[in-house]
């Protein structure tokens, strides 16, 4: 699923400069983002556990479990992100089955890297 194509006309684009903290571990969260442009790092306790690039998603976990942010996300370069709030997320899950599969694959890849990290 090409998320860049789906969100190219999004009216909720947000820009962050390199070095900006986008999400903070432990904070409550009800937004996720599609990376329209840029590179980001996912950190736990200041250690990078994954990187996210253009076309990928970040911040989805807090929307799925209605829970706090499990990790911090920092912009490594200047970034443009498409903002997805809880109600848009819920609609996407309901009406775009490919989106659910896409989120699932993202989670599976992150989980796979996380297992490797602690192995």
List interacting residues with another protein (CB under 8 A).
25, 44-45, 47, 49, 60-61, 64-65, 67, 70-71, 93-94, 97, 100-101, 103-105, 107-112, 114-115, 117-119
**Residue 76: what are its φ and ψ, rounded to 5°?**
-85, -25
Q: Which is nearer to another protein, 18 or 96 (CB)?
A: 96
Residue 78 Cβ vs another protein, minimum distance, rounded to whole Å: 27
Residue nearer to another protein on the CB measure, 21 or 64: 64
Q: How far is the CB of 17 from another protein (least distance, A)?
A: 26
For another protein, the closer CB: 15 or 47:
47
Q: How far is the CB of 36 from another protein (least distance, A)?
A: 23
Q: Per DSSP, what are the bridge partners of residue 13?
A: 82
Using CB atoms within 10 Å of the CB of residue 13, give its burial: 0 to 12 exposed, 13 to 18 middle, 19+ buried: middle
Tell me the C-alpha to C-alpha distance, in Å, between residue 44 and each of 23, 26, 30, 69, 105: 11, 10, 19, 10, 21
3-state secondary structure 30-47: CEEEEEEECCEEEEECCE
CB of 102 to another protein, least distance (A): 10
User: Looking at beta carbons only, is 11 or 45 nearer to another protein?
Assistant: 45
């Amino acid at each position: 699923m090409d998320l860049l194509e789906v969100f190219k006309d999004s009216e909720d684009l947000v820009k962050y400069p390199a070095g900006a903290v986008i999400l903070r571990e432990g904070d409550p969260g009800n937004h996720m983002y599609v990376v329209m442009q840029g590179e980001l790092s996912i950190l736990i306790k200041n250690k990078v556990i994954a990187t996210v690039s253009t076309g990928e998603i970040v911040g989805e976990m807090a929307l799925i479990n209605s829970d706090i942010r499990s990790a911090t996300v920092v912009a490594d370069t200047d970034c443009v992100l498409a903002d997805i709030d809880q109600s848009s997320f819920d609609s996407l899950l309901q009406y775009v089955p490919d989106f659910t599969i896409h989120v699932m694959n993202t989670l599976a890849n992150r989980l796979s890297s996380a297992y490797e990290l602690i192995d």
